[in-house]
Amino acid sequence: MSKVDPLTLIGVAASPYTRKMIALLRYRRIPYRIIWGNPVDILQEMEIAPPKVGLLPTFLLPDELGNIQAVCDSTPITRRLDKDYSDREVIPSNPALAFVDYLLEDFADEWCTKFMFHYRWHFDEDADNAGTILPLGINSSLKDDELAFFKEHFAKRQIDRLWVVGSNNDTAEFIDKSYKNVLSIFENHFKNQPFLLGNLPSSCDFAVYGQFTQLVGFDPTPRRIAHEISPRTVAYVNTLDDRGGLDYVEEDISLDSLCDSIHDLFKELSISYVPTMIENHKAIGEGEKEWSVDLAGYPWKQKSFPYQAKCLDWIRDEFRDLDNKNQEKVLGFLTATNCQSLVE
């Protein structure tokens, strides 16, 4: 498949997935240009058909015939870029480790986004901040009355969508607890190595980075919490913004060489991310519009989310694609951290 130089992507600064992909492109030294704005409007102006489901960011990439098309969903795009551009890859060469990387990337994209969306729209201070800044990120020249209009309507729309991530008065306490647990694990982890899986960033680092740009840098409540619990996470996020100058020396790492803190992180996943993914997938399969689960003694209830059911299907596809030896290694790792139900 042909490459384009530079790559073009459309996104907004307050989108964690846009930030994820820009940081990845910088690290990989892939030339790019970013168009800030609403992909729907920009694609219409460019006379390019939008994707069936619009997500941020939207890339303009060639199809098999070399025709430019709008493509979104950061995880498969990351893997496409690893195939198309053969330098400074972010997918580990070890197949079992690559699976763990895939899981952690999904954890960031699908669980840590609950932290981000919850804090941003559940609390008045954060909602006021986001409601003001986000419309200006699309057009900083809005007149005061226009800004007031967009602030009111945009904030209401986002607050009404809190159900998507399961944020409500019943789940708020657990979301806060989980966020603080993850920060504590990260604080311990970054005492021993600079990135999640070793001395170089993997795709999961950029996914975590994307969500945490908002949590430690944009939204007031989680920013205060992060600075108190984990200054190392704050520093990690600030520097991962542009790691293009980092020397790349390929590492020989495997599941056996992972820090104990990564095992601790997966144990945290086992009481948060894993059961919610399983229950949501079950509800979608049974045609249920809502589901509930007990998370370590905390009640969790939310509407069923089809996309996250697909995410679990893709995780299981990745596992099935491993050979028997690597499946055994991964299953042993997941079983030791109580996460084996993800692949069963």
β-pair type (290-295, 58-62): unpaired
What are the structural domain ranges in the chain? 7-84, 95-121+166-342
Which of the 8 DSSP states describes residue 256? G
β-pair type (68-72, 290-295): unpaired
| pLDDT over 60 (residue 48) | yes
Question: Quick one: pLDDT band at residue 16, thresholds 50, 70, 90?
Answer: very high
Partnered with residue 206 across adjacent β-strands are: none
For 106-136, how does the pLDDT look when each residue is reduced to its tens digit (9 = 90+)?
A: 999 999 999 999 999 999 999 999 999 888 8
Give me the pLDDT at residue 309, please: 97
Contact assessment for residue 28 and residue 55, using Cβ atoms and an 8 Å cutoff: no
Give me the pLDDT at residue 249, please: 85
Which of 59, 75, 77 is CA-nearest to residue 7?
Answer: 59
Amino acid present at 25: L
Query: How much is the CA Rg of the chain, to the nearest whole Å?
Result: 20
Give Cα separations from 32 to 39, 104, 136 (angstroms): 16, 26, 23
Give me the pLDDT at residue 135, please: 86
Q: Give phi and psi for 110, each to the nearest 5.
A: -110, -25
Mean pLDDT computed over 179-196 = 98
| pLDDT over 90 (residue 190) | yes
Least confident of 148-157, 191-200, 254-263, 305-314: 148-157
| Cα 169 to Cα 164: distance, rounded to the nearest angstrom | 14
| pLDDT over 80 (residue 1) | no
136-153 burial, b at 16+ Cβ within 10 Å, e below that, comes to eebeeeeeeeebeebbee
User: Mean pLDDT over all residues of the chain?
Assistant: 94
Give Cα separations from 184 to 121, 226, 293 (angstroms): 24, 9, 25
For 283-293, how does the pLDDT look when each residue is reduced to its tens digit (9 = 90+)?
A: 999 999 999 99
CATH architecture of 7-84: 3-Layer(aba) Sandwich (3.40)
Question: Quick one: pLDDT band at residue 201, thresholds 50, 70, 90?
Answer: very high
| Cα 7 to Cα 70: distance, rounded to the nearest angstrom | 12
Contact assessment for residue 39 and residue 58, using Cβ atoms and an 8 Å cutoff: yes
Question: Quick one: pLDDT band at residue 31, thresholds 50, 70, 90?
Answer: very high
pTM above 0.85, yes or no: yes
Question: Quick one: pLDDT band at residue 251, thresholds 50, 70, 90?
Answer: confident
Mean pLDDT computed over 267-282 = 98
Written as six digits, the tokens of 329 are: 């290694």
Q: Give phi and psi for 139, each to the nearest 5.
A: -150, 100
For 6-34, give the DSSP string: SEEEEE-TT-HHHHHHHHHHHHHT--EEE
Give me the pLDDT at residue 110, please: 96
Taking each helix axis as running N to C, give the angle between helix 203-217 and helix 74-84, from 0 to 180 degrees, rounded to the nearest 10: 130
315-325 burial, b at 16+ Cβ within 10 Å, e below that, comes to beebbeebeee
